[in-house]
Amino acid sequence: MDDEKVTLLVVDDSDIIRNSLKNFFSDYNFEVVTCLDGLEGIQKAAEYKPALIFLDLLMPNLDGVKMLQVIKVLDNLKDIPVIVISGNTNRTNVLAAVEAGAERVISKPLQKEIIIKNINELLGPEFLIKAKKKKAFSQSASDEMKKQLCIMFIKNFPQKKDVIVEALEQKDHGKLKNIVHEIRGAGGTIGYPKLSLISGVVEEQLSNSVINWSHVRLMCEQIFTIVEEIKNYSLAES
């Protein structure tokens, strides 16, 4: 590890999750490569040959399960361990991920201790020990990192809100489910589990064979209200 650059690949359509993992691993001597969907993920995996892949399940273009199915039959990629990260780790999703070749499935919001535990189990504790930088992050640096992620989320939310409004008007459950899934993962990462909880309710509603659109709209309005509260709190803290 001292003689060559070790790469980790993060495949997730959530900018918050990508940046959260990049910030977490900045405490180590890794190169963290990120991308937005499974198709690009396959290309990046072939290009960089990462030591480990973090992979979301629900993504546009090519989802996590399909990406797994592809890389696990390619000789130069099939031995790379994959940790699936998902906001919806029900039995069906876990089984689909494991059957496709995932070594681990962990739920969002991501927790540092869980990430470390799974890496240690897959690659051995020496992997992180050797890569640990001499000077670890202080608590103040960690808090500042979370603050910056929150600012990023607030800045990008108007675009996400437009997508939600459009999806509600068109009753496009696929588009809405993708964006709410992303918000669900972001909620815990920026320190607002209530946002994850409400988004999870919407995501579950959209998984039903018959969708109660009135309830979905009500829950989306709650998401908008929570985000506005986060925005106001962030401005007050600035």
Per residue in 11-56, pLDDT (tens digit) is: 998 888 898 899 889 888 889 999 999 999 999 999 999 999 999 9
pTM, full prediction: 0.77
What is the CATH classification number for the domain harbouring 43? 3.40.50.2300
Residues 55-97: pLDDT tens digits?
A: 998 888 888 999 999 999 999 999 999 999 987 777 888 898 9
What is the CATH classification number for the domain harbouring 207? 1.20.120.160
Q: Check whether residue 24 and residue 120 sit in a common domain.
A: yes
Q: How far apart are CA 50 and CA 120, in angstroms?
A: 16
The residue among 131, 165, 194 that closes a domain is: 131
Alpha-carbon separation of residue 121 from 5, 126, 170 (angstroms): 21, 11, 45
Alpha-carbon separation of residue 169 from 151, 207, 218 (angstroms): 28, 18, 13
- Number of domains the chain is built from: 2
Residues 121-145: pLDDT tens digits?
A: 999 988 888 888 755 545 555 567 7
CA-closest candidate to residue 229, choices 184, 194, 185: 194
The residue among 131, 164, 183 that closes a domain is: 131
Q: Considering the domain boundaries, does residue 1 fall inside one?
A: no
Q: Check whether residue 177 and residue 116 sit in a common domain.
A: no
Q: Which range marks the domain in which residue 67 is found?
A: 6-131
Q: Check whether residue 82 and residue 148 sit in a common domain.
A: no
The residue among 131, 148, 164 that closes a domain is: 131
Q: Check whether residue 168 and residue 120 sit in a common domain.
A: no
Q: How many CA atoms lie within 13 A of 92 on its CB side?
A: 2
Q: How far apart are CA 116 and CA 114, in angstroms?
A: 5
Which pairing describes strands 52-56 and 82-86: parallel, antiparallel, or unpaired? parallel
